[in-house]
Amino acid sequence: MGETRVLILGGGAVGTMVANKLARDLRTDIARGKVSVTVLDKSPTAVNQAGFTFVPFGYYTEEDLTRPRAMLLSPRVRAFIGPEGEVVRVDLANREVTVKSGRKFTYDYLLISTGCALDPSAVPGLKNDFSSFYTSIEDAKRLGEKIKTMSGGKIVVMTPKMPIACPGAPGKFTVILDDYLRGVKQNREDFDITFLWPVPNIGPPAYNENITENFKARGIRDVREFQLERVDEERKEVVSKDGERYKYDLLVTIPPHRGVKALKDSGITDGDGWVPSDKYTLQYRGPAGNYDEVFVAGDAGPKEIPKMGVTSHFQAFVVGENILRDIRGVGDMVLYRGHMGCPYVGGAPTPASRGAATLAVWKYGVPLGPFKPARLGWRVYRMYYYIFWDSTLKALM
């Protein structure tokens, strides 16, 4: 019997967790050459994007949020990084993946965990007036410098389209921004903050109720179902499809998200580039057919499943366990029960305020209940980004 090959597309949080779990649980089989676990990724640097929200305010540095990708993977994992790991085509029918260098990889099990892409060019008029904390650490730092040097004016935080990764992040950023202006710059009265959101609610009802009341108490203009048409760079206005306009001195944009081009070009996604899967088993169910040996997890997955860190965490364990069980000949599958969640930030610590946060979690058929952020929650939340590298990514929690 030949080697059983597990191929993982994307060395982000999901891909790394699954690779490390399998490398640990199948270490004897890997040592004997019975199983191989391979990860493909185009970037040598792993980035914890969840921390970008805090970078403009100095809570985390680039050193806190980045690591060499190779050092995060078990030595039992085969890693191909750069052109050897940049996927250009996925052929599910022939169980074959082609990378930029031209090399082809075959597999017995495939995990698609490539994440997604951000596309500022999808917003007409935005390219010359673009500021964001979503796109990179460098962009987040530049945004922070702009906020620091402003003496007053209109700040608009705009999300043009769903879905986005971590849909709670724009609201968290806005709350932290408000506390920063109040407690650090101490001139909140010189600023007007507007929050533009494309759908009626931010998260489930209990989450939405909390953030709505928080915005109201802070005097943040909260505009829902804002359907963006374009950005008027010359007049410094965002314009909705029905002609509604909001002026700005600083526009903070969460760019539209889309699926990875190579996957869309391979004909395995929906029209927007998201990879369809069964909502419970996470096995591929899409335009290319049904493939039980192909799993989809994380931000690359269906647009119907919110793209959150908690979602990725639970999905990674489900996928890893199901591949492990199938290799070992255990018939029963573990099902993904829709566990999702988002840290809620009620306030940030400044000379004039206390930090308060909590982790709001829900799942299929079990709605989020009432919750209240706490000071301890903020401390745990801040600490988590430091232990993320040596706990979560090693599939220990």
The verdict on residue 201 lying in a domain is: yes
Identify whether residues 148 and 72 lie together within a single domain: no
* Chain CA centroid to CA 104, Å: 28
246 to each of 175, 181, 214, 325, 334, how far by Cα in Å?
20, 21, 21, 54, 48
The verdict on 93 and 170 lying in the same domain is no
List, for residues 155-198, the tens digit of each pLDDT value.
999 999 999 999 999 999 999 999 999 999 999 999 999 999 99
Output the pLDDT for position 128. 87
CA distance 176 to 347: 6
Task: Tell me the mean pLDDT in the region 108-130.
Answer: 95
- Asked if the model's pLDDT at residue 7 lies above 90, the reply is yes
In terms of domains, do 298 and 245 share one? no
- Encode pLDDT of 63-115 as tens digits: 999 999 999 999 999 999 999 999 999 999 999 999 999 999 999 999 999 99
364-392 pLDDT, tens digit each: 999 999 999 999 999 999 999 999 999 99
CA angle 363/369/370 to nearest 5° reads: 150
Q: Indicate the residue among 224, 256, 288 that finishes a domain.
A: 256
pLDDT attached to residue 331: 78
Total number of domains in the chain: 2
Query: Considering 256, 289, 319, which residue would you say is the last residue of a domain?
Result: 256
Q: In a 10 Å sphere around its CB, with 0-12 CB exposed, 13-18 middle and 19+ buried, how is residue 270 labelled?
A: middle
258: left (phi over 0), alpha (psi -120 to 50) or beta: beta
What are the tens digits of pLDDT across the range 26-64? 999 999 999 999 999 999 999 999 999 999 999 999 999
Q: So what's the pLDDT on residue 237?
A: 97
- Given a cut of 90, whether residue 396 has pLDDT beyond it is no
Q: What is the CATH number of the domain that holds 186?
A: 3.50.50.60
Structural domain contains residue 152:
yes
Mind listing the pLDDT tens digit for each residue in 184-243? 999 999 999 999 999 999 999 999 999 999 999 999 999 999 999 999 999 999 999 999
pLDDT at 397 over 90: no
Asked if residue 51 belongs to a domain, the reply is: yes
For the record, the structure tokens of 28 come out as 């004897």
Distance of CA 279 to the CA centre of its chain: 18
Q: Are residues 109 and 12 in the same domain?
A: yes
Q: Does 229 map to a domain?
A: yes
- Taking each continuous run of H as one helix and of E as one strand, the counts in the chain are 10, 22
Give the tens place of pLDDT for each residue, 286-310: 999 999 999 999 999 999 999 999 9
Decide which of 233, 256, 279 is a domain's last residue: 256
Taking the C-alpha atoms of residue 167 and residue 207, their distance in angstroms, rounded to an integer, is: 11
Domain membership of residue 378 (yes or no) is no
Q: To which residue do tokens 């002026």 refer?
A: 247
pTM: 0.95
160 and 34: one domain? no
Is 93 among the domain residues?
yes
Q: Are 203 and 270 members of one domain? A: no
Question: Are 109 and 130 part of one and the same domain?
Answer: no
Using an 8 Å Cβ cutoff, are 335 and 318 in contact? yes
Torsion-angle region of residue 125: left (phi > 0), alpha (psi -120 to 50) or beta?
Answer: left
Dump pLDDT digits (tens) for 350-362.
998 999 999 999 9
Residue 1: what pLDDT? Answer: 61
Shared domain for 278 and 290, answered yes or no, is yes
pLDDT-above-70 percentage for the chain: 99
Q: What is the mean pLDDT of the chain?
A: 96
Residues 112 and 69 in one domain: yes
Quote the domain boundaries for residue 151. 119-256
Decide if 303 is inside a domain. yes
Together in a domain, 242 and 315: no
